[in-house]
Amino acid sequence: MLTHAAEDYLKSIYKLQEKGGKVSTGILAEHLEVKPASATGMIKKLKTMKLVRYERYRGVTLTAAGKAIALEIIRHHRLLELYLFKALGIPWDGVHEEAEKLEHVISEDVEARMDEFLGYPTADPHGAPIPDKNGVVTQTASIPMTDLQNGQSCVVAEVSDNDSALLRHLGSFNLYPGTAFRVIEVAPFEGPFTIDIAGQQVVIGREVAKHVFVDQVQDPDNV
């Protein structure tokens, strides 16, 4: 049996590894808000359990067994978020924290029942893909909102879910997954984005835009 902390490490390594290959202990420690020495100690324990590969100064990656556990925890988390949102009416900015508490303790039977109740969903309330029961994750072609140019239209695919204040801010503009919008202007020198959402003009700061991912991007000539 793994501790909840060990499962959190595996989940975090998976997410960081998806962004850039091997993960340094420093980046992992910063992500988990622990001291580098604590991260190194846990990594060494996970290595003895054959859940990670680790070489000093070369970073850490998950083994197949470690990846399977990470994906199972992520599946629990995202199913829980959707269940809390749809069945219990918890706002989308509150489900992440609650799911963090429950993801380690639900049984496989509860997981299967939630999945069936929700109609076998493929994404959580924030648009993140839910791994299926075999650990398969649907790959998306979304890009950061910060890559958009003047005049392009698109649809929100996913938003970062670990900052409740950010989610409330985006929700105030109805900027949810599935929302379509058009870029009116991208201000120069790393300035904000002015966008049109169903006829309403909204200004989105660049730091906020970094946490919004979009797809179905169309250039003005193709709209």
Whichever domain contains 173, its CATH number is 2.30.30.90
- For residue 23, pLDDT over 60 is answered with yes
- 52-76: average pLDDT: 93
List, in order, residues 6 or more apart from 85 with CB less than 8 Å away.
91, 92, 95, 125
127 lies in the same domain as 147: no
Helix axes 25-32, 36-48, angle to 10 degrees: 110
Residue 58 has a pLDDT of 84
- For residue 223, pLDDT over 80 is answered with no
168 lies in the same domain as 212: yes
- Final residue belonging to a domain, choices 62, 85, 105: 62
Measured in degrees and rounded to the nearest 5, phi and psi for residue 23 equal -110, 130
- The predicted-structure confidence for 178-215, as pLDDT tens digits, reads as follows 999 999 999 999 999 999 999 999 999 999 999 999 99
End-to-end CA distance of the chain: 54
- Confidence bin at 121 (pLDDT 50/70/90): very high
185 domain residue, yes or no: yes
Please give the share of the chain, as a percent, with pLDDT higher than 90. Answer: 88
84 lies in the same domain as 50: no
Cross-strand bridge partners of residue 212: 159
| CATH code (residue 18) | 1.10.10.10
Number of structural domains found in the chain: 3
68 domain residue, yes or no: no
135 lies in the same domain as 97: yes
149 lies in the same domain as 211: yes
- Confidence bin at 56 (pLDDT 50/70/90): confident
- Confidence bin at 112 (pLDDT 50/70/90): very high
* Residue 193 buriedness (CB in 10 A; 0-12 / 13-18 / 19+): buried
69 domain residue, yes or no: no
- Final residue belonging to a domain, choices 104, 139, 174: 139
Mark 46-63 as b/e (b = at least 16 C-beta within 10 Å).
Answer: bbeeebbbbeeeebbbbb
CA 104 – CA 116 distance, rounded (Å): 20
Cβ-defined contacts of 112-118 (< 8 Å, 24+): 114/79, 114/80, 114/83, 115/79, 117/83, 117/87, 118/79, 118/82, 118/83, 118/86, 118/87
State the amino acid at position 2 in one-letter form.
L
Please give the share of the chain, as a percent, with pLDDT higher than 70. Answer: 99
186 domain residue, yes or no: yes
- For residue 21, pLDDT over 80 is answered with no
Q: 28 lies in which domain range? A: 4-62
151 lies in the same domain as 132: no
95 lies in the same domain as 133: yes
- For residue 221, pLDDT over 80 is answered with no
182 domain residue, yes or no: yes
- Final residue belonging to a domain, choices 62, 90, 108: 62
Q: Are 176 and 194 in contact, with CB atoms under 8 Å apart?
A: no
80 lies in the same domain as 106: yes
